[in-house]
Amino acid sequence: MTLDAPLPRFGYGTNGLTDLRLDDALGLLADLGYDGVGLTLDHMHLDPLAPDLSARTDRVAHRLAALGLEVTVETGARYVLDPRRKHGPSLLDPDPEARARRVDLLIRAVRVAADLGAHALHCFSGITPVGTDEDTAWKRLADSLTPVLEAAATAGVPLAVEPEPGHLLATLADFHRLRHALGDPEHLGLTLDIGHCQCLEPLPPADCVRAAAPWLRHVQIEDMRRGVHEHLPFGEGEIDFPPVLAALSATAYQGLAVVELPRHSHAGPHYAALSLAFLRRATPTDLPGAPSATQEGSTT
């Protein structure tokens, strides 16, 4: 490990704080000592489809700056486009007009991410529709992402695609398939969910971090068990976190590691506090700048 390896920086996802107003959620995270936030564009926070998006984004940017919070923008809102279909329509939808709605959302999100000074914009492929063969699904994904990547390149915002269990693009190997299909564009990066690594990748999570390092633009983090896609609070799954955090430091990852607990939003402030305390304790003490046991105790 190099002496200038950065200490992991932690954020919390607003999809785990959906019962709070956005201003209150951001204030909570700053007060707890988080470095930043994973901001999901959704109707209860920064609605990407409501009027005056630019003005509302500007207000959020000022709030983030005043609180000293960094940000990544996430696009995993469940019903922001379709009130009846979770994550619908997707980039794989058989209807071209439906796919175009998702593409438009992502291009809007690129502009929001640029205006907020976000480190990256997150997205995912979606589930392969019934009756769609694999080759067709991959072609739809590549074609749909092409204009999004063009917008990302123009805005200077990395697009960080997330392998999601059950989706067409589910694994690190699938990410590389997309990357090669698109010609390895500069602004195509990876969102690595540490829990997903535990769930289904052949490598341990820390090894996944090292393998993904050249393309890593965004990290989500939570506990999980092998073979079960259920986001769990830290300590309730099987992941050994100190090696994961050491790997993030050693690979010089520059972004946030964002806690991803959307199904615990009913107790979001409680889990936000517990999560940061856990991650600070799990940060190896031999990393440059790591808090001592005394410092950890003073911040929780």
pLDDT digits (tens, 9 = 90+) for 158-210: 999 999 999 999 999 999 999 999 999 999 999 999 999 999 999 999 999 99
Which pLDDT does position 7 carry in this prediction?
87
Nearest CA among 129, 188, 133 for reference residue 157: 188
Q: What CA–CA distances, in Å, run from 36 to 55, 202, 215, 251?
A: 21, 30, 21, 20
Q: Is 2 inside a domain boundary?
A: no
* pLDDT confidence of residue 291: 58
H/E run at residue 90: none
Residue 105 is assigned to a structural domain of this protein: yes
- Structural domain of residue 175, as residue ranges? 9-298
pLDDT of residue 300: 34
In this predicted structure, what is the pLDDT of residue 290?
A: 62
Structural domain contains residue 133 = yes
Stretches in the chain below the pLDDT threshold 50:
1-3, 293-300
Report the Cα–Cα distance between both ends of the chain, in Å, rounded. Answer: 28
Q: Is residue 44 part of a domain?
A: yes
Question: Rounded CA gap, 178 and 184, in Å?
Answer: 8
Q: Is residue 4 assigned to a domain?
A: no
The CATH number covering residue 187 comes to 3.20.20.150
What confidence score (pLDDT) does residue 299 get? 39
Query: Of the candidates 40, 7, 32, 31, which has an alpha carbon nearest to the alpha carbon of residue 276?
Result: 32
Residues forming a β-bridge with 39: 73
Q: Is residue 1 included in any domain, yes or no?
A: no
Q: Is residue 110 part of a domain?
A: yes
> Whole-prediction pTM value?
0.93
At 1 the pLDDT is 41
* 130 occurs within a structural domain: yes
Tens-digit pLDDT profile for residues 15-42: 999 999 999 999 999 999 999 999 999 9
Per the structure, the count of domains in the chain is 1
